[in-house]
Amino acid sequence: MQSDDARYLKRKYKGGSLDVHPTEKALVVQYEVEATILGEMGDPMLGERKECQKIIRLKSLNSNTDIASLARKVVEECRLISPSRLPEVEQLLFYLQNRKKSAEKKEKKQIKPRDLTPFEGMELDEEANINSIDDYIELLYEDIPEKIRGATLILHLARNPDNLEELLQNETALGALARVLREDWKQSVDLATTIIYVFFCFSSFSQFHGLITHYKIGVLCMSIIEHELKRYDLWQDELLKKKKADILSKEYEKALKKYHGLLTKQEQLLRVALYLLLNLSEDTRTELKMRNKNIVHLLVKTLDRDSEELLVLVVSFLKKLSIFLENKNDMAEIDTVEKLVKLVPCEHEDLLNVTLRLLLNLSFDTGLRSKMVQADLLPKLTSLLGDEAQRQIAMCILYHISMDDRFKSMFAYTDCIPQVMKMLFDCGEERIDAELISFCINLAANKRNAQIMCEGNGLKMLMKRALKLKDPLMMKMIRNISQHDGPSKNLFIDYVGDLAAQIGLKEEEEFVIECLGTLSNLTIPDLDWELVLKEYNLVPYLKDHLKPAQQEDDEFVCQIVYVFYQMVFHQATRDVIIKETQAPAYLIDLMHDKNAEIRKVCDNTLDIIAEYDVEWGKKIQSEKFRWHNSQWLEMVENRQMDEAEPFMYGDDGEPFLQNGDILERPDLFYSSDGIIPVDGAISPEFFTDFQNGDLLGPHGFPSSSLTDGYGQTGVTPVRPATAYGFRPDEPFYYGYTTSR
């Protein structure tokens, strides 16, 4: 079939469903278009169907509108709606008239690229028609005013989504627009803004992004933005010079008025260009190209503007970019944080919200958190805790700042702590937000903060809630408060019994650990630990829980050992620990644990025990000696002294070891009395025990394979279930890993 054979085009419209617009005061009409090409004789040659929709906006609709009259007018002017559907139209209009405005308010808060505010120059005295597109294209080949008019007419078509598909097929129109933008954008801001707006309408839909890439509109937009920002700097300098010069005030006012006019048009251009780039950045590969062309620096520079609508867009763009490390690093290199802090707080709710969200993304970086504090963001965020709309985000940023010990003390000089304490108590028996309680736990790690928390009935309220709800996080906060010396620690005397009572109950392990840790922090001279141990029967509980089930939990073990450390300070409890329990033997086994904190607490506790009990002192010294010389002893125990091996003996028949490092250690030299270090660290009684054979192995040296002086035999691959069974010098010890 030749194209010349087609003589007529017949279109047939078929009405479909009718509904209200979800957010606007408008009716949505769904309809079907059937286009048929007829030949010379009127016979159909080619046909195509297309589903479309029409939006009938009802701007005049309000609470006083006559619904019946408006419905008749809609039916009369819209041929797609049959007169028989008049009652249905009235019903839909009545619904729109009484629909709540919450949806409309929500729409205003969202960034809706398609609904950019019409700018000066978009007004037309005629209605754009898709059938006249060729005429509009012709205008693009004329002078600048005609080009602006032609581009504006095409823009009015592009703002209707129904026309985008048809415009997409018109390569002549799109090519002409791209060419004019590329060649003439410097000559007219209005022309550049209008043409970019046309392509922006396409960018609102992902399926059209390839079209924009094809015409290289994104690259051109970045060049335009960079040029306009440089032009802005020149305007600023020129205006400043005129202000400082001896010029009549009227001339300066005239220059200032002109500047504001130029600024308004420039911000319209920047806004539509940045919106287009934001839409294109949906593809991460395109976003990477923008980053390589310095998009972050351009955006940060735009933060100096005063236009709130433009700032919402710029900060939103930066927030999207900030989730990638490279972009975040770019922001860290320039004064991004300082410029963002200036926007907090602000009256524009959307701008404030998106700024806080960007700051939250950046606050994961330690260096940027430091910049936020230096820029005086802390009191500003504290003031936002009273704003329900921004409270959650502000709390998250404050939590990140409180993670750094350098900044914890700064919270004491704001009204932050009273506010968060009130928020805690206002929760009642409801679950506390994770952000809030985590923030409080961090704050409580500082002494001054803890004292403020305890003011009034603060500690009483915290204890009451924690014990009633068995809240482990609240108890962790209390535990942090209890670690500080001073007046706040003495307040815990009233709650020792409550805490001790929780340990004997079958509560969740996490909660019990926090209670136990809190007790271990109470180094109060007036506290009668003997009475506490007996009253709440804690010794059997502690003994029962020192079993394999808890031995791999470093924190649990460390807390219990620390309780023992506190108990041996007092005569009454010291006697109970030493004479009635196997705690000292267990501490000896833990003396060489891989966890440094456990080793430290064990050593300190055993030193006190050795000072007050001679028998245990001997045993502790024995174990320390055995561990100190473990390499040598292991070789003596595990190797048979075969005379046929000359390398084991010297010329004089005396044995020697290949490990020269050990032999060079003076603390292992023989003395005239036997195996006594030259520094005299081991008492003579210890040597006597060896001579009596109490701890001698087959070769006259201590052997871990024999029954030791504590009634235990063999070794175990983990922390011992019973006392003094752990041999850290065995090979398995070096493979031991902690649970943290």
DSSP class per residue in 614-641? HHHHHHHHHHHHHHHTHHHHHHHHHS--
* DSSP, residue by residue, 651-692: TTS-B--S-HHHHT-GGG--BTTBS--TT--S-HHHHHHHHT
Q: What is the pLDDT of residue 394?
A: 95
Domain residue limits at 173: 130-268
Query: Are residue 167 and residue 260 in the same domain, yes or no?
Result: yes
Query: Are residue 144 and residue 81 in the same domain, yes or no?
Result: no
Determine, yes or no, domain membership for 201: yes
Q: Report the share of the chain in percent with pLDDT over 90.
A: 42
Tell me the C-alpha distance between 560 and 289, whole Å: 58
Determine, yes or no, domain membership for 153: yes
pLDDT grade for 185, boundaries at 50, 70 and 90: very high
Determine, yes or no, domain membership for 91: yes
| 658: amino acid identity, one letter | Q
Determine, yes or no, domain membership for 417: no
437 pLDDT more than 60: yes
pLDDT, tens digit, 9 for 90 and up, residues 498-508:
998 888 667 78
Query: Are residue 166 and residue 219 in the same domain, yes or no?
Result: yes
Q: What is the pLDDT of residue 711?
A: 36
Both structure tokens of 530: 């003997």
pLDDT, tens digit, 9 for 90 and up, residues 455-476:
989 999 999 999 999 999 999 9
User: Ranked by mean pLDDT, which of 84-93, 624-633, 710-719 comes out on top?
Assistant: 84-93
Report helix, strand or coil for 344.
coil
Determine, yes or no, domain membership for 184: yes
- Strands of the sheet containing 8-20, edge to edge, are 8-20, 26-38, 44-57
Both structure tokens of 333: 């290199």
Determine, yes or no, domain membership for 346: no
Tell me the C-alpha distance between 655 and 667, whole Å: 18
Query: Are residue 261 and residue 138 in the same domain, yes or no?
Result: yes
Which of 226, 249, 268 represents a domain boundary (last residue)?
268
Given CA atoms 546, 551, 556, 559 in this order, what sign does their dihedral have? positive
Both structure tokens of 364: 């994961």
User: Phi-psi region for residue 9, left (φ > 0), alpha (ψ -120 to 50) or beta?
Assistant: beta
Which of 154-163, 280-289, 661-670, 703-712 is predicted least confidently?
703-712
Give the mean pLDDT of 286-305. Answer: 94
pLDDT grade for 686, boundaries at 50, 70 and 90: very low
Which of 249, 268, 287 represents a domain boundary (last residue)?
268
User: Ranked by mean pLDDT, which of 175-179, 385-389, 546-550, 708-712 comes out on top?
Assistant: 175-179
Query: Are residue 249 and residue 169 in the same domain, yes or no?
Result: yes
Query: Are residue 172 and residue 93 in the same domain, yes or no?
Result: no
Mean pLDDT of all residues belonging to the chain:
80
707 pLDDT more than 50: no
Orientation of helix 171-184 relative to helix 144-158, angle to 10°: 130
Query: Are residue 17 and residue 89 in the same domain, yes or no?
Result: yes
Count how many domains the chain has. 2
Query: Are residue 258 and residue 157 in the same domain, yes or no?
Result: yes
CB 197 within 8 A of CB 118: no
Determine, yes or no, domain membership for 58: yes
pLDDT, tens digit, 9 for 90 and up, residues 622-665:
888 877 777 666 666 666 444 444 444 444 444 444 444 444 44
pTM (2 decimals)? 0.64
Q: What is the pLDDT of residue 699?
A: 33
Q: What is the pLDDT of residue 730?
A: 38
Determine, yes or no, domain membership for 161: yes
Query: Are residue 94 and residue 134 in the same domain, yes or no?
Result: no
Q: Chain-centre distance of CA 585, in angstroms?
A: 46
CA nearest 121: which of 73, 184, 190, 52?
A: 190
Within 13 Å of residue 123, how many CA atoms lie on the same side as its CB? 2
The H or E element spanning position 30 is strand 26-38
Both structure tokens of 717: 């691959």
Query: Are residue 93 and residue 134 in the same domain, yes or no?
Result: no
The CB density around residue 322, as the number of other CB atoms within 10 Å, is 22
pLDDT, tens digit, 9 for 90 and up, residues 384-402:
999 988 999 999 999 999 9
Both structure tokens of 267: 């911000």
Q: What is the pLDDT of residue 244?
A: 76
284 pLDDT more than 70: yes
